[in-house]
Amino acid sequence: MESDLKGLANAYNSLEQANFNLEREVKAMRSGGASSGPDLETIKAEAREEAHKESEAELNDLLVCLGQEQSKVERLSSRLLELGEDMVKLLEGIGEEDEADLPDHDDDDEED
């Protein structure tokens, strides 16, 4: 029974300490001061850095894929030349449908 009371007393003291810390943080936030909690700007900076790392990794993956596709194009082009195919004639019209679906990229900044 005595150990149960000591456990409850310790738990109560922990709650009191947590409450005190939270009240101090609230007062600091209301007065515009710094709190002992995590800084919002630090969290934003860490999130930006993580997003930058992820996009850089994705960009590297895309560059590897682009290099692989370029190698395929070079090999196929050389083989087509060996077979006597006219490359210009083969490539006519390829990509025109895709380009027609893309929006124009005029300088939108000039409209502001």
Which has more pLDDT, 88 or 72? 72
The H helix count followed by the E strand count for the chain is 4, 0
70 belongs to a structural domain: yes
pLDDT score for 91 = 82
- Tens digits of residue pLDDT in 31-87: 875 555 567 778 888 889 999 989 999 999 999 999 999 999 899 989 999 999 888
* 44 and 3 within one domain: no
My answer on whether 19 and 45 are in the same domain is: no
Task: Report the alpha-carbon distance of residue 99 to residue 13 in Å, rounded.
Answer: 69
Same-domain pairing of 50 and 88: yes
The pLDDT-based confidence of 105 (bands split at 50, 70, 90) is: low
On the question of pLDDT at 98 being above 70, the answer is no
Task: Specify if 105 maps to a domain.
Answer: no
pLDDT band at 112 (very low <50, low <70, confident <90, very high): very low
101 in a domain, yes or no? no
CA 84 – CA 89 distance, rounded (Å) = 12
Residue 5 lies in domain: 1-37
Report yes or no: 3 and 13 within 8 Å, Cβ to Cβ: no
pLDDT of 27 over the 60 cut:
yes
Total tally of structural domains belonging to the chain:
2
Co-location of 45 and 86 in the same domain: yes
Of the candidates 54, 12, 28, 107, the one whose C-alpha atom is nearest the C-alpha of residue 62 is 54
Is residue 60 in a domain?
Answer: yes
Whether residue 16 is found in the same domain as residue 43 = no
